[in-house]
């Protein structure tokens, strides 16, 4: 395949910036598509060969199904065979946005997309170039995160280029993604909806906005929900892992976490290994007061301004893991955060830090 073409897209996307990629996608090509969560690897959902190539270029396990992205509800009857009653309420409350809903798959959707399951995941991205790409291509679009399987999801076009250059046709460069972690995956096929993958939309937000009680797959809350829990195949794979080992600095506040990091720094340095840190500027400031870095060892850091804040940390997590991994350190230490707003961040972080 010829070189991957990077196309810079304006804040308000122009038709001529998207058109070539849309035609290519429609005809079977693969396109890097920005969304509000992470960049996706987009392909025509109706072309089984393209779907197979998506799995191939990512190195994705065959049993991990893909999400179908739609521009609006008009395309829904082509994709699902049944629309559960609560769909409308959830759609009005959260779509377009970072909520993926699992429903029963229509016969028009190739089985390859769902890895053999009789369900299909559907989402309506809230990102202008993605919507335009889907509209202009005129087909439902599958898009897994645009990383090599097992690597952190791309939040910049350059991440995708680094992973997939020469293997895909286009990447639409729309700058940094707004949210930074993948969508919430909610199974709405059962009596009680179940969150299969935490994202920016939390169980609490769903309840607050719609009154719908959903069960959190990671923290079961609804009585008796367990027997309805279908597993999201993607969650069994180790994910989001850079080459360096990831460790979590735990603590109730910035001070405690900075002290934990200082201890980690001491022991890691004494073993002759190198460490990098991703945390807020406040936490890293406290850390640098607590450690003596005069042994000629540099401490690589990736910070965001101010105090530790879940939305900022979530936005930067994958970019930080990739950036610090490029520094070739042995260990990347990341600070723990607390609260409902930190659930997707902690989920991805725990998985990145899971033993190999």
Question: HSE of 196 in the Cβ direction (CA atoms, 13 Å)?
Answer: 21
Q: Measured from the CB of residue 105, what is the shortest distance to ligand TXA in angstroms?
A: 7
* H or E element at residue 292: none
Q: Omega of the bond prior to 262 within 30 degrees of 0, cis?
A: no
Q: How far is CA 164 from the centre of its chain?
A: 17
Q: How far apart are CA 75 and CA 139, in angstroms?
A: 8
CB of 336 to Mg ion, least distance (A): 23
Binding site for ligand TXA (CB under 6 A): 35, 37-38, 40, 64-67, 98, 100, 102, 114, 117, 119-121, 123, 125, 143-145, 182-183, 185, 196-197, 232-235
Nearer to Mg ion, 218 or 288 (CB): 218
Give the separation between CA 54 and CA 143, rounded to whole angstroms. Answer: 9
Q: Which does 303 bind (CB under 5 to 8 A by kind): ligand TXA, Mg ion, none?
A: none
CB 352 within 8 A of CB 248: no
Q: Which two tokens stand for residue 26?
A: 């429609």
Residue, CB closest to Mg ion? 145
Measured from each CB, the residue nearest to ligand TXA is: 234
Sign of the alpha-carbon dihedral angle for 170, 171, 174, 175:
negative
Q: 314 touches which of Mg ion, ligand TXA, none (CB within 5 to 8 A by kind)?
A: none
Q: Tell me the closest approach of the beta carbon of residue 348 to ligand TXA, in angstroms.
A: 11
Comparing C-alpha atoms, which of 225, 299, 200, 227 is closest to residue 258? 299
Tell me which residue has tokens 């609804």. Answer: 222
Q: Which is nearer to ligand TXA, 37 or 301 (CB)?
A: 37
Q: What pairing do the DSSP bridges indicate for beta strands 141-142 and 40-44? A: antiparallel
Name which of 97 and 146 has its Cβ closer to Mg ion.
Answer: 146
Least gap, CB of 199 to Mg ion (angstroms): 12
CA 111 – CA 108 distance, rounded (Å):
9
User: Between 178 and 336, whose beta carbon lies closer to ligand TXA?
Assistant: 178
Out of ligand TXA, Mg ion, none, what residue 13 binds, judged by CB under 5 to 8 A for its kind, is: none
Q: Which is nearer to ligand TXA, 114 or 245 (CB)?
A: 114
| Closest distance of CB 196 from Mg ion, Å | 13
Site residues, Mg ion (CB under 5 A): 145
Give the nearer residue to ligand TXA in terms of CB position, either 145 or 254: 145
| 128's tokens | 């202008």
The nearer residue to ligand TXA, 24 or 51, going by C-beta atoms, is: 51
67 makes contact, choosing from ligand TXA, Mg ion, none, with CB < 5 to 8 Å by partner type, with: ligand TXA
Per partner kind, with CB cut-offs from 5 to 8 A, the member of ligand TXA, Mg ion, none near residue 64 is ligand TXA
**Those residues with Cβ within 8 angstroms of residue 55's Cβ, 6 or more apart along the chain or in another chain:** 62, 112
Question: Cβ of residue 270: shortest distance to ligand TXA, in angstroms?
Answer: 39
Give min distance, CB of 318 to ligand TXA, in A.
11
Given the DSSP bridges, would you call strands 245-249 and 184-187 parallel, antiparallel or unpaired?
A: unpaired
Residue with token string 């191939």: 56
């Amino acid at each position: 395949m010829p070189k991957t073409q990077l196309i810079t897209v304006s804040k308000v996307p122009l038709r001529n910036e998207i058109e070539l990629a849309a035609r290519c996608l429609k005809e079977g090509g693969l396109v890097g598509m920005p969304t509000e969560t992470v960049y996706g690897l987009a392909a025509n959902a109706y072309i089984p060969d393209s779907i197979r190539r998506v799995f191939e270029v990512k190195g994705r396990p065959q049993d991990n199904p893909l999400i179908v992205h739609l521009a609006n509800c008009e395309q829904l009857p082509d994709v699902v065979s049944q629309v559960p009653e609560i769909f409308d309420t959830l759609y009005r409350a959260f779509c377009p946005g970072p909520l993926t809903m699992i429903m029963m798959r229509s016969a028009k959707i190739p089985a390859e997309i769902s890895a053999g399951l009789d369900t299909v995941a559907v989402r309506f991205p809230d990102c202008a170039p993605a919507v335009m790409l889907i509209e202009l291509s005129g087909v439902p679009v599958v898009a897994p995160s645009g990383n090599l399987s097992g690597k952190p999801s791309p939040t910049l076009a350059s991440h995708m280029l680094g992973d997939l250059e020469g293997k895909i046709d286009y990447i639409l460069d729309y700058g940094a993604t707004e949210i930074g972690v993948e969508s919430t995956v909610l199974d709405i096929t059962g009596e009680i909806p179940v969150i299969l993958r935490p994202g920016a939309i939390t169980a609490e937000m769903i309840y607050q906005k719609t009154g719908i009680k959903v069960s959190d797959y990671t923290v079961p809350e609804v009585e008796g929900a367990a027997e309805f829990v279908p597993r999201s195949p993607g969650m069994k794979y180790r994910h989001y892992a850079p080459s360096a080992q990831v460790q979590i600095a735990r603590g109730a506040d910035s001070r405690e976490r900075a002290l934990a990091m200082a201890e980690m720094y001491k022991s890691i340095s004494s073993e002759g290994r190198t460490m990098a840190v991703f945390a807020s500027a406040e936490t890293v400031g406290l850390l640098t007061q607590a450690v003596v870095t005069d042994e000629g060892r540099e401490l690589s850091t990736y910070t965001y301004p101010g105090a530790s804040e879940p939305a900022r940390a979530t936005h930067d997590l994958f970019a930080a893991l990739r950036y610090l991994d490029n520094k070739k350190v042995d260990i990347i230490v990341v600070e723990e955060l607390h609260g409902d707003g930190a659930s997707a961040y902690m989920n991805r972080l725990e998985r990145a830090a899971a033993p190999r």
